[in-house]
Structure 1
Amino acid sequence: MIKIIHIARPLGGIGVYIDLLSKNIDNNTFSNSIICNTKEKGIDIKNANEKSITKFHVNLIREISPINDIKCFFKIINILQKEKPTIVHCHSAKAGVLGRFAAIVLKIPVVYTPHAYSFLSTKSKLKKQLFKGVESLFRFFNANTIACSASEYHRAIYDVGLKKEKVYVWNNSIEYPIKAKNNSNFIFPDEFICSIGRPSYQKNTELLIKSIAKIRQKISTVHLVILGVGLYSPLIKDIEALIKKYALEKNITLVPWCDRLETMDILKKCQIYTSTSRYEGLPYSVIEALALSKPCVVTNVDGNKDLVKNNFNGFLVSENEGEIAKKIIQLLKDKTTRTLFAQNAHEDFLKNYSIQNTIHKLENIYKTILLP
């Protein structure tokens, strides 16, 4: 049995990644458990037999806190010494640094998935260099990287400087068919555009609002539904103010939270999926849109450009509201192109992002890492 311990804060896309991996990997060959934050006791990740995987809790916080991080590091070492995993799989920046160093100290094979490198998340040149420098340290150790997209693979080699033989790619993948349930209390127009994501620097929601304002100049009935806004977001007041500034209250619906079945039902009913992100790992929301045969208009950035092929299953656009508006208007008015993109989206999903078809590649990567 190959015993894998994940180290992560299993929220958002990282939680989806570990959950889907645990449910779909060969349970006769691999077992999964997780070291996560003490506050994440309510998270329940199950394996293929619907049994909850084992959880170990440490004070793994996002913020840099030297005293806390040192305590957390030694607690991780404690757990790894006791559990003796075959492989340690770390996810995202903080868990990636502490987990990799702990595994290196104990000489346990270790892999790391960035889920979008931390140096992409800041405007500060100093922070970018600092974060990149920390990642570059691991090229001197026996640590492997499993990128979640081709873009992340290239970042690992050409930005971070890792050796090619230590970097692998396993695309984020989801289960198919997608389950959806119509239990929504929200009332939307018959035709609407959809986007998913909490207002943040990464999601660049301001650009999305400005794009809808441009579209409304040509199509007065345009409607955007933003899902997953969150019960709390530091930028929500700014977004609400921007909607009011452009008088878009009747053109935009913000949905704070709904369960996955309801989210998929709303996504299934939209005409177009759009994302104005500044960067991504490999966004599950776009993968879900492809699975549901939705043509996409997305910014030409890491993650988005791995999923959307320009003029094939959607449009890749620059971070410019005029260009975004132009391409969305084109798709709204051209049903023939919309239908063609929808067909291509679904076919591309089945070929590349259905976990039932891709999980064997991850299993082989784990086995390759263990070779002498």
Structure 2
Amino acid sequence: MRILFALPGFHRYERGAEVALLSVADELAKLGESVTVIGAGEPREGVRYRYKKLGAARRERFERLPSIPGLRDETKWEDATFAANLAAKEDLSQYDVTVTCNFPFTNLALQRGRRKGPRNVFVTQNGDWPAFSNDSEYRLFNCDGLVCTNPSYLERNRDRWNCTLIPNGVDVARFTPASSAEKIACRERLKLPQQRPIVLMVSAFIRTKRVLDGIRAVAQHDGAHLVVAGDGPLRAEGDRLAAELLPNRFTRLSLQASEMPQLYRAADVFMHLSEFESFGNVYLEAWASGLPVVAHDFEVTRWIYGDTQYLCDTGDEAALEEKLRLALVAPVGKAPEGIDQFTWPEIANNYRNFFSQFAAVSEAK
């Protein structure tokens, strides 16, 4: 199969959608498929897929612009500039399947290729709202296949679209529990305190990720040090709040993807307070790293973890404080059981099976 993955954040950001789809692309190339990835970042060594760079304005330039239909946040402006280049410069007839998780602009740019042969697959990495809403620009949404990253999305969309349920995955060779010696070494490399329990959040500084609530929660636990790996429009507000509530107990950093496993190994507890995620790669990365996980109790986390982690209504301050207290005294480094179903080779094979129906249609044309 000839497969195209298109997203402006490819090779530019290490956020959940980019990490997930690039992992799938690399595994599919490993399986022998002809895979092309188009993004706005720089080429990388060591990848199996073919990479092409297209220009796109950086999303940070648009953080303070007002929200309007179609351009509701800074990522949509980035998407619009990328999609314009994609439509102008890429011949889509050379592919059997095109894949994105960006709406509206990249999705619409790929729709034009459907007349030339390739089928378009939309992945709900950033939510399924485009697939079921008929408001405003969402009425323009279309796809030949919809990859639902959680059971709720599948249930909501299965009667309207050609759907499949495929979660995200994790590289269990990279994300592994740390020994005591490894934890010390990782903290030393990252310049993190050795004598304090570390609570880790891997979250963008945006409202829905609730990093500021995480700062308030950790402030209730004397001695705990909060590390946040992420960036976003609320970074300055987060820094100010941490300076007030967590003096000398807060670290904000940005790391390359290659450095993330050692960050998990340096931690004692993982906390993620988003009240809803399409999936959340970080849930698996923390689990594979043997960390106790404090997270919001909703259908996705319950589907992933069952009753094995510290789930609660994280909007309830007392409940969150209690779960965090329990997690801080829980054993670290326990090898995860049941994570095999979420490995990238398994996930990529599911994508391959789903894409195969569209390759047959393309060849028939």
TM-score (norm 2): 0.77
Change in 2 beyond 3 A, CA 1:312/1:206 = same
How far off is 1:365 after superposition?
Answer: 1.0
Work out whether residues 278 and 299 of structure 1, in 8 Å CA contact, stay in contact via their aligned partners in 2: yes
The answer for the alignment partner of 2:44 in structure 1 is 44
Q: 2:253 aligns with which of 251, 256, 276?
A: 256
Q: SS at 1:255's partner residue?
A: strand
- 2:285 aligned residue: 288
- Identify the match of residue 325 of structure 2 among 329, 346, 351: 329
Q: Quick one: distance in 2 between partners of 1:287 and 1:173?
A: 7
Instruction: Judge conservation of contact 1:280–1:301 (CA < 8 Å) in 2.
Output: no
The alpha-carbon deviation at position 314 of structure 1 amounts to 3.2
RMSD (Å), alpha carbons: 3.5
- Cα drift, residue 150 of structure 1: 2.4
Give the secondary structure class of the aligned counterpart of 2:54: strand
After the TM superposition, which of the residue ranges 168-177 and 79-88 deviates more from structure 2? 79-88
Structure 1 residues 5-48: Cα deviation after superposition (integer angstroms, max 9, x where no partner): 11212232222123212321254641111333xxx241437544
- 1:203 offset after TM fit, Å? 0.9
Residue 174 (structure 1) aligned to one of 170, 174, 181: 170
Residue 177 of structure 1 aligns with an amino acid whose one-letter code is: A
- Conserved? CA contact 2:83–2:106, under 8 Å: no
1:235 aligns with 2:273: no
Give the distance between the partners of 1:197 and 1:68, measured in 2 at CA: 20
Give a deviation string over 1:298-331, Cα, whole Å, max 9, x none: 013464444332x323324342322111111123
Q: Is the 8 A contact 2:79 2:105 kept in 1?
A: no
After alignment, is 66-75 or 295-304 more displaced? 66-75
Alignment of 1:143-292 (within 5 A): 143-157=144-158, 162-163=160-161, 166-178=162-174, 182=186, 183-213=189-219, 215-216=220-221, 220-228=222-230, 230=231, 233-245=232-244, 247-250=245-248, 252-292=249-289
Report whether the alignment pairs 1:307 with 2:308.
no
Q: Kindly tell me: are residues 82 and 101 of structure 1, through their superposed partners in 2, closer, same or farther at Cα, counting changes over 3 Å?
A: closer
Of 86, 89, 103 in structure 1, the residue corresponding to residue 96 of structure 2 is 86
For the Cα contact (< 8 Å) 1:45–1:53, is it kept in 2?
A: no
Q: 1:71 to 1:298 in 2, by over 3 A?
A: closer
SS in structure 1 at match of 2:37: strand
- 1:96-175 map, 5 Å: 96-117=106-127, 119=129, 134-135=137-138, 137-138=140-141, 143-157=144-158, 162-163=160-161, 166-175=162-171
Question: How has the CA–CA distance of structure 1 residues 317 and 357 changed in structure 2, closer, same or farther, with 3 Å as cutoff?
Answer: same
24-33 or 288-297: bigger deviation = 24-33
| Deviation, structure 1 residue 188 | 4.1
Deviation at 1:61, TM superposition (A): 7.3
CA 1:189/1:260 → structure 2, altered by over 3 Å: closer, same or farther?
A: farther
The unaligned stretches of length 5 or more in structure 2 are 63-69, 177-184
- Which residue does the alignment assign to 1:5? 4
Counterpart for residue 124 of structure 1? none
**Residue matched to 2:180:** none
- For residues 170-210 of structure 1, give each alpha carbon's deviation from its aligned partner in whole angstroms, at most 9, with x where no partner exists: 21112221168833233343422211112111211121122
Tell me: CA distance 1:82–1:105, structure 2 relative to 1, closer, same or farther (3 Å): closer
Q: Tell me the matched-pair count.
A: 334
**Percent identity (aligned):** 12
Aligned residues of 2:38 and 2:54 also touching (Cα < 8 A): yes
> Does the CA contact (< 8 Å) of 1:19 and 1:45 recur in 2?
no
- In structure 2, the CA distance between the partners of 1:73 and 1:102, relative to structure 1 (3 Å rule), is farther
- How far, CA to CA, are the matches of 2:89 and 2:305 in structure 1? 41
Q: TM-score, normalising length from structure 1?
A: 0.76
Q: 1:100·1:143 contact (CA, 8 Å) conserved in 2?
A: no
